[in-house]
Amino acid sequence: MMTLLFLAAFATALSLLALVISREANRLVTIAGLVLAAIFCVVGWGTTTEAFGGLYRFDTLARGLTLVALLGGLWTLLLGPAKKFEYPLLVLYAVTGIHIMSSSPNLVVLLIALELFSLPLYVLATWQRDNKGFEAGLKYFLLGALAAAIFVYGIALYFGATGSFMAGAKGSGPLYVAGLLLILAAFGFKTAMVPFQWWSPDVYQGSPTVVTLFMVTAVKAAAFAAMLRIFTPEGVGAWGYGLAALIALTTIFGNLGALQQTEAKRLFAYSSIAHAGYVALGLFGPTGQASIPFYLLTYALATGIIFAVLAMLSNQDVPLERLRGLFYRKPLAGTAMGLSIISLLGLPPLAGFWGKYLVFQEAAQAGYWALVVLALVTSAVSAYYYLKTFFLLFAKPSEQAAADDREAEAALRQFGSSEAAGSVLTAPMGLSGALMAPAARTTATSMGMLWAALALLGLLSILPGLGLRAFSAGLLPVVPLSISAPQNGALLAAGSYSLQGTGQAGESLELYDNGVKLGNVTVGADGKWSFALPALAATGQHLYEARRTGQVAAAKTMVQVKASDVPAFSAPAEGSQVSASGFTLQGTGKAGEGLEVFEDGISLGRLTVPDSGQWSLNVPPPTPGNRIYEVRRQGQASGAKLNLVVGQPVAGALCNQPFSLSNLQAGGTVSRPFRFGGVGSGQGYSITVKRGDRIIGRKQLPLSAACGWSYLSDPGAGSITYEVRQSGKPETDPALSTINLNVQ
């Protein structure tokens, strides 16, 4: 909030004061404003300030990218011309716009911010009043206006589809997609992505080099901040293909375009187009909010250094030949530029590598492999022009280049602050910079900025984690996701086990089994999570995955589940409620082994485990209430137990199912006591019990409220026969079912 206030207050106040105070004072006050804004940007890092009902949102993303913009602004001010008071003022306005752009989730505010920073840039682009400057300014203005128009159109459709001006609103349908794609196109213009890039080489070349420095560092940051808020991974279905196409075109044509350039500013303009494509890859990933600012910072530092060095050489065109032997003429500038080029190329260990690494892995995590490979291949292509420039710096210097240097220095004196020699007398003498002669001061400042930028670039190279940690403050899960148990590749016996792992405390994870979602789990305060798997996993291969919401990448563990040798139940789950009209028990066991299932100690029959290792048994209608089921190996006194609750049947149900027998198929052997039954219709059934031909008992079995019938028997050992008939039928009728059992 203070950042916004300082920027806005300084800009407004200086607009009035600039007419009365000296140019030098104006410049220094502007610099002071930017520095103050930067200080308040850093104070409270990691916290989020909201204002104006959510229209202004100063979070880590906004802080990071505002800081990049402030850095660019300061740099361009320190190196830039001071002949006119408008220059610092325009930069200040642009920075203010960029700050608002990166700190608002509201599309209308974004539009205002876009205009706020674009207009000063149009003026700055024409700073050199020659044909090239006018061409640059006009092109920039016309295409910028077009982009703004497209943006407005996109906002309108977006509002129509979602009913909201806030970025990230949920929506669907063709209107939503069209709106997002138009907004994407508008940002395509601003970030110079192919096919919306045509203005950028001309503008970068035609503008004064210091202004180009500002454009490539700060403007990109602003546009990507807004894109990060609008194009969230949740909505990737709507904009994913559009952005993928832009990225593919941008990385291919940006790099191919750079291959044939012979002028340095133009070459790096094309390189900057290509880099926009790389940065945009980060939008696909789950943690782009941290990766993209990191990339932009490394990119801004490297490009900033390059343009600062080019600005030392000339404010006009810099043919590549001018760079020949720069290292021998200006060792610091040559070294800085060489390192920056390597960083842009993305060779480790320089910071540019970590930037590329981070945004590429975002796309990889989201599964955009083709784009990742394309980006990597085009990076390899870019090696040609980067290395060409790099080796030019270290080539033997030519006389011509040295002569050009002297000439350019004279020209720069015309353009730069040194020509303001008269104003030195009136400048406030408090700041050390102002004490020096202006020409010396410019050189000293540019050297100082170079050293500072180089040091920051080096720091990010050696300790990339520091930068990422800063940009991910309050955003990223720090702890990587993992599944610690069961171990990958483990061979498990079927049974109940739990998935365990680590993650960021408090985050919610989604768990999958062979791609089927199992459920969510929340990571505990100790950074660990555990998830009890459904009582018994099916045998075979299981790929368990834990994902952060919206991510494709997952922690995985692949296990083989083999049937347990110990008989066990797999379904229903322990303690669950089952139907009083019968249900099916499932379980596992050793293939070929004989098992017997009991209900409260009463046998429901024996079975042989099939080759799959999974058995099932139909339970005849049980009595409502708590029941304990048990599966035992034959001949053993106890086994695995399962507690179930048999629900109360719904009274008055119409019983019209055909007669059925659930368990105890004829001819089997069973332990006593045992129970068999099934469902049926009518009044009920009568059972005739026989040993051989001798009738030893009769029993009437009315249907229960759940339409079930059940017979509990406890006969002596030996062969026994049960005949089931519809109630009321004489025993001379043929039986509905005849069950021969061998009781043990």
Partner 1 sequence: MIHVGLWLPLLAGIALLLLPSLGRTFAIVAAAVTFVISLVLFAGYNPTGTMLGQHIAYVTQIPLLQEVGVYYALGLDGAGLLLWMAVSLTVLLGVWIADVPVRFLALALIMQTGLMGIFAANDLVLFYVFFEATLIPSLLMLWFYGGLDRLRAIYTFAIFTLVGSLPMLASVFAVRYLGGSPSFLYSDLLAHPLGGAAAGWAFLGFLIAFAVKTSLFPLHAWQPPFNRQNHPSGLADAMGTLYKVGIFAFFKWAIPLVPSGFQQWQGVVLFLAAFGAIYAAWLAFSSKDWKTLLAYGSISHMSIGLLGLFSGTSQGTVGALYVLGASMIYTGAMFLFVGLVYKRTGGLEVAPVRGLAKHAPALYVLGMFLLFAMIGLPGLSGFPGEFLALLGAYKVSPWLTFIAFLSVIAAAAYALTAYQKVFQEVPQTQTVPDLNSREWIFASVTVVALLLMGLYPKLFTVYLEPLGKALAALFGGSA
Binding interface with partner 1 (CB under 8 A)? 287, 290, 342, 346-349, 353-354, 357-358, 360-361, 364-365, 369, 372-373, 376-377, 379-380, 383-384, 387, 391, 394, 463-465, 468-469, 472, 476-483, 487-489, 502, 545, 552-558
* Smallest gap from residue 612 Cβ to partner 1 (A): 24
Q: Are 536 and 508 in contact (CB under 8 A)?
A: no
Tokens for 505, please give them. 């405390």
Q: Are 114 and 101 in contact (CB under 8 A)?
A: yes
In which residue are the tokens 């008055």 written?
652
Question: Measured from the CB atom, is 188 or 477 closer to partner 1?
Answer: 477
Question: Measured from the CB atom, is 201 or 477 closer to partner 1?
Answer: 477
* Smallest gap from residue 529 Cβ to partner 1 (A): 13
Question: Measured from the CB atom, is 158 or 354 closer to partner 1?
Answer: 354
* Smallest gap from residue 360 Cβ to partner 1 (A): 7
In DSSP terms, 561 is beta-bridged to 492, 540
Nearest-5° Cα angle at 9, 86 to 115:
60
In DSSP terms, 485 is beta-bridged to 500
Question: Measured from the CB atom, is 164 or 361 closer to partner 1?
Answer: 361
Tokens for 284, please give them. 């696909």
Question: Measured from the CB atom, is 230 or 342 closer to partner 1?
Answer: 342
* Smallest gap from residue 552 Cβ to partner 1 (A): 8
- Using N-to-C axis directions, what is the helix angle for 438-462 and 351-365, rounded to 10°? 50
* Smallest gap from residue 259 Cβ to partner 1 (A): 12
Question: Measured from the CB atom, is 186 or 247 closer to partner 1?
Answer: 247
* Smallest gap from residue 236 Cβ to partner 1 (A): 17
Question: Measured from the CB atom, is 290 or 308 closer to partner 1?
Answer: 290
* Smallest gap from residue 638 Cβ to partner 1 (A): 39
Torsion of CA 392, 395, 400, 401, to 10 degrees: 50
Residues 591 and 539: their CA atoms lie apart, in Å, by 12
At position 203, the amino acid (one-letter code) is V
* Smallest gap from residue 511 Cβ to partner 1 (A): 13
Q: Are 265 and 318 in contact (CB under 8 A)?
A: yes
Residue 61: partners with Cβ closer than 8 Å, 6 or more residues away: 102, 225, 228, 229, 289, 293, 471, 475
Question: Measured from the CB atom, is 123 or 320 closer to partner 1?
Answer: 320
* Smallest gap from residue 466 Cβ to partner 1 (A): 10
In DSSP terms, 540 is beta-bridged to 561
Question: Measured from the CB atom, is 402 or 475 closer to partner 1?
Answer: 475
In DSSP terms, 603 is beta-bridged to 598, 674
Question: Measured from the CB atom, is 67 or 342 closer to partner 1?
Answer: 342
Residues 699-736 as b or e (16 or more Cβ within 10 Å = b):
eebebbbbbbbbbebebeeeebbbbbbbeeeeeeeebb
- Could you tell me the sign of the dihedral formed by the alpha carbons of 232, 238, 241, 242, in that order? negative
In DSSP terms, 719 is beta-bridged to 742
Question: Measured from the CB atom, is 278 or 615 closer to partner 1?
Answer: 278
Residues 354 and 400: their CA atoms lie apart, in Å, by 38
> Could you check whether the bond before residue 572 is cis, i.e. omega within 30 degrees of 0?
yes
Question: Measured from the CB atom, is 50 or 321 closer to partner 1?
Answer: 321
* Smallest gap from residue 42 Cβ to partner 1 (A): 21
Question: Measured from the CB atom, is 304 or 464 closer to partner 1?
Answer: 464
In which residue are the tokens 């404003």 written?
33
* Smallest gap from residue 299 Cβ to partner 1 (A): 17
Question: Measured from the CB atom, is 236 or 476 closer to partner 1?
Answer: 476
Residues 601 and 454: their CA atoms lie apart, in Å, by 81
* Smallest gap from residue 36 Cβ to partner 1 (A): 31
- Using N-to-C axis directions, what is the helix angle for 351-365 and 331-345, rounded to 10°? 10
**Residue 50 CA from chain centroid, whole number:** 23
Q: Are 553 and 520 in contact (CB under 8 A)?
A: no
* Smallest gap from residue 312 Cβ to partner 1 (A): 23
* Smallest gap from residue 480 Cβ to partner 1 (A): 4
Q: What is the CA radius of gyration of the chain?
A: 39
Residues listed for the chain: 744
* Smallest gap from residue 486 Cβ to partner 1 (A): 12
Mapping DSSP to helix (H, G, I), strand (E, B) and coil, where does residue 659 land?
A: coil
Residues 195 and 740: their CA atoms lie apart, in Å, by 83
Question: Measured from the CB atom, is 421 or 462 closer to partner 1?
Answer: 462
Question: Measured from the CB atom, is 556 or 641 closer to partner 1?
Answer: 556
Find the farthest-apart pair of alpha carbons in the chain and give their distance in angstroms, rounded: 133
Residue 333: partners with Cβ closer than 8 Å, 6 or more residues away: 309, 312, 326, 450
Q: What is the 3-state secondary structure (H, E, C) of 569-588?
A: EEECCCCCEECCCCEEEEEE
Tokens for 445, please give them. 């400042």
A 10 A CB-CB count for 348 gives 14
* Smallest gap from residue 510 Cβ to partner 1 (A): 14
**Residue 64 CA from chain centroid, whole number:** 18
